[in-house]
Amino acid sequence: MKKAALDKGQFGPWALITGASSGIGKEFARQIAASKINVVLAARREDLLKEAGVEFSKRYGVEHRVVVLDVSREDFIGQLASATDDLDIGLVVSNAGTGNPGEFLKHDQQLHRTTLRISTVANLDITHHFGAKLAKRRRGGIVLVGAMGAEAGVPRMANDGAAKAYIHSLGEALHYEFKPLGVYVTVLAAGFTNTAVLDKFGLDPKTMPMKPMSVEQCVSETLSGLRKNRSKVIPGRLNRILNALVPASLARKIEADLIDKGLASKSASARSLVVA
């Protein structure tokens, strides 16, 4: 079935996607480019961004710009602002991030702080800077990428979950505030999605009890929600049912068990590699 294109008048002529070098962010960039909206691709790995940009320009006939940046840095928003000030950006997807599974006390405090900056300060800076620009043109959209269940607490990802809960709260509030300004805001509360992140969890999509979602479905459901100006999208019917029906205490146990199992099998295979 052919997907509905994004309205270029509302969301074009340019879109900015952070974390566009792989996974969900790269797929956002692809689907947005398929709507004939030019794309700014931002992340740290320049080679991957360039490769994706060339591919999308060739496939969809759009322009692209690559911005190499680390959103955990104090000064990143100044760098991003000057790299995009000459462009009429109508859509911003704040997606950069990762997951750091493991026991809270075993992670380095510096890693916790960096994760917190990426989810909180970076999203604050992005929504404030680009929100003002979109409000001035009185049309546009913002997608903030969170994680399903973040508000309930995620054991073995305690800091990651807490930081993502900030994104959910910020996005849902801005959805309300920006609506009269003509700016749509949608939070993506993603469940397990098939990207490079799963490897960090020791999870193999083929053996997971519930198959992770494809990036295509995750992104197309989110863009469909954005078109209707939904405040939050949980992609996948089963995810929505689980989110609505499973009590938070049980969801925390299921998540902790799944992560523990994945990490145990990852360290077992690392040990067998060392022995071999």
Q: Which stretch binds ligand NAP (CB under 6 A): 90-98, 151-159, 252-260, 265-273?
A: 90-98
Distance between CA atoms of 112 and 261, rounded to whole angstroms?
22
Give the range of 40-48, 57-65, 175-183, 237-245 binding ligand NAP by CB under 6 A: 40-48
Q: Is 223 in the site for ligand NAP (CB under 6 A)?
A: no
d(CA 105, CA 31) in angstroms, rounded, equals 39
Does position 95 interact with ligand NAP (CB under 6 A)? The reply is yes
132: alpha, beta or left? (left if phi > 0; alpha if psi -120 to 50): alpha
Of 71, 80, 89, 163, the residue at the interface with ligand NAP (CB under 6 A) is 71
User: Would you count residue 222 as binding ligand NAP (CB under 6 A)?
Assistant: no
Question: Is 36 within 8 Å of 13 (Cβ atoms)?
Answer: no
Interface residue with ligand NAP among 1, 2, 105, 196 (CB under 6 A) is 196
Q: In what order do the strands lie in the sheet with 183-190?
A: 64-68, 38-43, 14-18, 89-94, 140-147, 183-190, 232-233
Q: Do the beta carbons of residue 221 and residue 233 sit within 8 Å?
A: yes
Site for ligand NAP in 97-136 (CB under 6 A): 97-99, 118
Amino acid at 102: G
Nearest to 186 by CA among 90, 116, 124, 93: 93
Q: Does 44 bind ligand NAP (CB under 6 A)?
A: yes
Selected range binding ligand NAP among 4-12, 92-100, 174-182, 243-251, rule: CB under 6 A = 92-100
Residue whose CB is nearest to ligand NAP in the complex, by number: 23
Taking the least distance from each CB to ligand NAP, the nearer of 256 and 271 is 256
Q: Name residue 52's amino acid.
A: A
Residue 17 lies near ligand NAP (rule: CB under 6 A): no
Residues that bind ligand NAP (CB under 6 A): 18-25, 43-45, 48, 70-72, 95-99, 118, 145, 147, 190, 192-193, 195-197
